[in-house]
């Protein structure tokens, strides 16, 4: 609906125009009627109208000045001048300003007025259509250019195959710029809760948020859990902290960012490597935005106060594996963590020693393929505290399995089959890994490893595939709304369901329904 205003200092003319046409039924809303240009401008300055019908000669502010201000403020406004026979020079001045047309007061009829207004409406509709098409063309061009540069940056950083020799670096790389490596905190836990595709969906939403709030720059996934940003150094800290806050409030995720800087395309790889090293501070200092490298990872050799790892492992093996001291192993694990904290070893070295810890404790008692799965989990630890929690969970799970005399492989297969039956009966409702593990009386960690060994999938990915299959079935049922399909297949969040469905099937739920009908 278009908005219209009427301005005339003669009440008879003003109210006569207002009452002569049924504006609402013709797609117009009367925004106001005013006695002079100044009164009208007080409204139009804050809330422009689409069509302005104004007298020329008025006190305080005349129609020509009002027209000039209105078109300066909102150039798409259509102005119709109302004049007398002897006002032609004023009308000519108005036409030069860009008014749409004019009407003579002595011959003013409702039919001619309405026809002129409809003419203005048709012009507005055509201009809006052209503006929309132009915007779509411009947006499409910018999107194509953006994607070319994103692909070129990936190749320049060797994040994807292909040569960047023919690629023209964006102008941003010729000025002081920053490369920010952003990782999602707690990514492994999020994937365990929501499936392996969840982080990639999050990265896409983070990328969208970046482009919605950043005037200049690029953002693209640079790994399974990482988004890489390229943006100007000016206002860098404010931009990064604003983005981190937006992601936290809007997507409910915490992130860690490491920042490197450069001044030319040749500095790009070095800036990225610096950003990755800066992000490494998270292992010791927790999530945040970091601009400096961790510093020296190799302090002097430890003194007598720092125990040797092998001595700690020997004691751990006695307490944890044999159950000789049910609580003593926790103290020894704390001693291991304290040792790593004091030595300040490189994180990868610490993760390797954590894997050696599990191998030493349980390498002779469990299937090595299960231990290798646990090693991968330890290698993904994000902080020292996170590593400690993983170690504690793995030691508890293995110790419990040893004490309870674990079943042979055939028995384990039977337990997983029992869990699969439980999942099949409950996957359309809220279902957690802990519930499935409890059903077969296993620790969550041990069940998770066995489930993947026998099915080839993580627990939550297995459940999601069942839910997507159920959703496909429900989408063929006439009359069901998309949110009802989501709920009926076990998804509580219809927005997440729609994005995940498209990611896994290549089409939206609506498109799938249309193809299936």
The DSSP code sequence of 325-375 is STTHHHHHHHHHHHHHHHHT--HHHHHHHHHHHHHHHHTTTS-HHHHHHHH
Does residue 321 carry a pLDDT above 60? no
- Whether residue 162 is contained in a domain is answered as no
pLDDT at 286 over 50: yes
The pTM of this model reads: 0.66
Instruction: Looking at the structure, tell me whether residues 97 and 50 fall in a common domain.
Output: yes
Domain presence at residue 83: yes
Inside any domain, residue 301: no
Same domain for 18 and 88?
yes
CATH number at residue 96: 3.40.50.2300
Strand-pairing partners, residue 82, are: 55, 103
How far apart, in Å, are the Cα atoms of 148 and each of 142, 145, 229?
10, 5, 15
Same domain, yes or no, for 121 and 44? yes
User: What sign does the CA torsion over 504, 505, 508, 513 have?
Assistant: negative
So what's the pLDDT on residue 370? 73
In a shared domain, residues 281 and 367: no
Give 372's contacts (C-beta < 8 A, 6+ positions apart): none
**pLDDT at 405 (0 to 100):** 47
In a domain, 143, yes or no: no
CA within 13 Å, CB half, 90: 21
Asked whether residue 165 carries a pLDDT value surpassing 80, the answer given is no
Q: What is the reported pLDDT for 304?
A: 46
* Same domain? 281 vs 349: no
Q: How confident is the model at residue 103 (pLDDT cuts 50, 70, 90)?
A: confident
The confidence band for 424, taking pLDDT boundaries of 50, 70 and 90, is very high
Domain ranges, residue 36? 2-129
**Looking at residues 299-311, what average pLDDT do you find?**
56
In a domain, 281, yes or no: yes
Rounded percentage of the chain residues whose pLDDT exceeds 70: 88
Residue 46: pLDDT band by 50, 70, 90 thresholds? confident
Q: What is the mean pLDDT of residues 385-395?
A: 88
Q: What pLDDT band is residue 240 in, cutting at 50, 70 and 90?
A: very high
How many domains is the chain partitioned into structurally?
Answer: 4
Same-domain status, 387 and 421 = no
Count the neighbouring beta carbons within 10 Å of the beta carbon of residue 100.
19
Same domain assignment for residues 425 and 386? no
| Residue 350 belongs to some domain of the structure | yes
pLDDT at 302 over 60: no
One domain, residues 286 and 175: yes
Q: Are residues 80 and 39 in the same domain?
A: yes
Q: Are residues 394 and 415 in the same domain?
A: no
What confidence tier does 50 reach under pLDDT thresholds 50, 70, 90?
very high
Among candidate residues 73, 99, 129, the one where a domain is terminated? 129
What is the largest distance, in Å, between two alpha-carbon atoms of the chain?
111
Task: Evaluate whether residue 276 is within a structural domain.
Answer: yes
Q: Choose the final residue of a domain: 403, 430, 465.
A: 403
Element at 2 (helix H, strand E): strand 2-7
Q: Is the pLDDT of residue 367 over 70?
A: no
284, 184: one domain: yes
| Proportion of the chain above pLDDT 90, given as a percent | 37
Closest by CA position to 429, among listed 458, 463, 476: 463
Decide if 378 contacts 358 (C-beta within 8 A).
yes
Task: Assess if residue 397 is contained within a domain.
Answer: yes
| Mean pLDDT of all residues belonging to the chain | 85
Q: What is the pLDDT of residue 323?
A: 55
Q: Are 9 and 59 in contact (CB under 8 A)?
A: yes
């Amino acid at each position: 609906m278009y908005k219209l205003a009427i301005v005339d200092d003669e009440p008879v003319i003003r109210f006569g125009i207002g009452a002569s046409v049924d504006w609402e039924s013709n797609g117009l809303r009367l925004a106001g009627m005013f006695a002079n240009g100044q009164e009208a401008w007080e409204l139009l300055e804050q809330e422009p109208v689409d069509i302005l019908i104004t007298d020329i000669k008025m006190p305080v502010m005349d129609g020509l000045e009002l027209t000039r201000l209105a078109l300066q403020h909102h150039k798409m406004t259509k102005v119709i001048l109302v004049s007398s026979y002897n006002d032609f020079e004023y009308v000519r001045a108005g036409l030069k300003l860009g008014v749409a047309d004019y009407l003579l007061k002595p011959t003013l009829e409702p039919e001619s007025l309405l026809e002129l207004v409809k003419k203005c409406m048709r012009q507005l509709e055509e201009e809006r259509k052209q503006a929309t098409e132009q915007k779509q063309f411009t947006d499409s061009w910018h999107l194509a250019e953006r994607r070319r540069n994103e692909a070129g940056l990936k190749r320049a950083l060797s994040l994807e195959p292909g040569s960047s020799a023919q690629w023209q670096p964006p102008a941003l790389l010729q000025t002081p710029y920053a490369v920010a490596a952003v990782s999602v905190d707690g990514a492994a836990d999020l994937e365990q809760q929501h499936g392996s595709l969840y982080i990639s969906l999050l990265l896409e939403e983070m990328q969208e948020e970046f482009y919605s709030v950043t005037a200049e720059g690029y953002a693209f996934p640079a790994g399974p859990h990482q988004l890489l940003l390229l943006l100007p150094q000016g206002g860098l800290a404010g931009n990064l902290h604003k983005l981190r806050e937006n992601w936290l409030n809007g997507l409910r995720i915490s992130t860690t960012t490491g920042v490197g800087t450069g001044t030319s395309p040749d500095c790009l790889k070095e800036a990225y490597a610096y950003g990755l090293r800066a992000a490494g501070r998270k292992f010791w200092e927790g999530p945040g935005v970091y601009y400096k490298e961790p510093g020296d990872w190799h302090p002097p050799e430890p003194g007598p106060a720092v125990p040797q790892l092998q001595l700690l492992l020997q004691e751990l093996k006695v307490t944890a594996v044999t159950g000789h001291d049910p609580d003593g192993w926790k103290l020894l694990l704390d001693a291991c963590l304290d040792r790593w904290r004091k030595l300040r070893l490189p994180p990868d070295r610490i993760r390797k020693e954590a894997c050696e810890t599990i191998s030493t404790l349980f390498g002779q008692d469990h299937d090595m393929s299960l231990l290798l799965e646990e090693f991968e989990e330890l290698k993904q630890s994000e902080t020292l505290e996170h590593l400690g929690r993983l170690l504690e969970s793995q030691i508890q799970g293995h110790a419990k399995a040893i004490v309870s005399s674990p079943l042979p492989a055939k028995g384990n297969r039977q337990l997983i089959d029992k869990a699969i039956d439980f999942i099949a009966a409950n996957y359309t409702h809220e279902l957690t890994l802990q519930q499935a593990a409890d059903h077969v009386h296993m620790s969550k960690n041990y069940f998770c490893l066995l489930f993947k060994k026998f099915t080839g999938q993580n627990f939550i990915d297995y459940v999601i595939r069942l839910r997507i299959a159920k959703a496909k079935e429900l989408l063929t049922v006439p009359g069901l709304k998309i949110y009802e399909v989501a709920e009926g297949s076990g998804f509580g969040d219809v927005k997440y369901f729609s994005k995940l469905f498209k990611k896994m099937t290549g089409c939206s739920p609506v498109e799938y329904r249309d193809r299936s009908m």
